[in-house]
A and B are shown apart, each in its own frame.
Chain A
Amino acid sequence: MATDLAAALDVALQAALVVASGLTLFAGYRVIRGPTTPDRVVALDTIGTNVVAIAALYSMATAQGFFIDVSLVLAIIGFISTIAVARYVTEGDIIE
């Protein structure tokens, strides 16, 4: 039973990695073709979140805790970049 659960978790992790990678590719298409700047910004933010998810999933798949640090730092920097870009788009000036 435990081996079944471990095998199922492994399959689920691999599938989630594939899905997250594919979504990153689609978001990359939106970054390149996006008609407006907010489209590109949202797509870049999605790519950042997907990379965080890929790092966390890879950390679970390989049972190494190092990649959790990667996802933490990436999530923090993605949050800040989203806020800065949103402020730049709405006001044209980031720090006042």
Chain B
Amino acid sequence: MSDDAPANEDVAAAESPRPSDVDRSTTVVARTVVRVVVPIILVTAISLLLQGHNLPGGGFIGGVLTATAFVLVYVIFGLDYLQATILDRRDEVDEGMVSVYRRLFALGLALAAGSGLAPLLFDLPFLTQAVLFVEHLPLYGELEVASALAFDLGVYFTVVGALLTIIAEVGAE
């Protein structure tokens, strides 16, 4: 983190004769591959999250895969890219996305703590299980939604928020 070349000026870095500027930016191959791979990773994470109640998967591995997708964007595009494109803020260096991740962490803990209330929506006692079958979905067919999905969603948001907070803080140092 010692020299002054910005990460996302790859045109200027490619035309510069100095090797230190060229080394800072990632190659076109890496950028293109990451643009293709990150949506696939996110779809895999969501599918693992949804099948988690009776197949391998669940909130934790879905959260880890989502965090790895964000890590891939961080490694290839740099720390400023996400908050410049998602939050549209360029001035604050490391507070923008980290506060979002902290709120996600708190939301996940609240969801996991309150997930015992989910069966009350289906007129079932507290902390029991309810299953809802959603049929005739486009492209997916039938989806089985258990009320354990509320707890899985809480774990998912907690894992995503915690891992991305750690990675953004450590990567900014």
> How many A-B Cβ pairs are below 8 Å?
49
Residues on B with C-beta less than 8 A from A70 are 56
Are A77 and B72 touching (Cβ within 8 A)?
A: no
Q: A91-B23, A96-B7, A96-B79 are in contact. Are A80 and B55 (CB under 8 A)?
A: no
Are A96 and B48 touching (Cβ within 8 A)?
A: no
Are A66 and B65 touching (Cβ within 8 A)?
A: no
* Interface range on chain B (Cβ under 8 Å from partner): 20 to 34
Are B65 and A95 touching (Cβ within 8 A)?
A: no
Query: How far is B97's CA from A56's CA once the two chains are assembled, in angstroms?
Result: 37
Residues on B with C-beta less than 8 A from A77 are 68
- Which of A70, A80, A84, A93 has the largest count of B CB atoms less than 10 A from its CB? A80
Residues on B with C-beta less than 8 A from A93 are 1
Tell me the interface secondary structure of chain B in the complex. helix
Q: Which of B40-72 contact A (CB under 8 A)?
A: 41, 44, 48, 55-57, 61, 65, 68, 71-72
In the assembled complex, B125 has its CB within 8 A of some CB on chain A: no
Are A96 and B78 touching (Cβ within 8 A)?
A: yes
Q: A66-B55, A76-B41 are in contact. Are A83 and B72 (CB under 8 A)?
A: yes
Tell me the interface secondary structure of chain A in the complex. helix
- Distance in Å from the Cβ of B148 to the closest Cβ of chain A? 18
Q: Could you mark each residue 83-96 of chain A with 1 if its beta carbon is under 8 Å from any beta carbon of chain B, else 0?
A: 11001001101111
Residues on A with C-beta less than 8 A from B23 are 90-91
A and B contact pairs by CB, cutoff 8 A, 25 listed: A66-B55, A70-B56, A72-B44, A73-B44, A73-B48, A73-B61, A76-B65, A76-B68, A77-B68, A79-B37, A80-B68, A80-B71, A80-B75, A83-B30, A87-B26, A87-B75, A90-B23, A93-B1, A94-B171, A95-B78, A95-B167, A95-B171, A96-B1, A96-B7, A96-B171
Binding site for B on A (CB under 8 A): 66, 69-70, 72-73, 76-77, 79-80, 83-84, 87, 90-91, 93-96
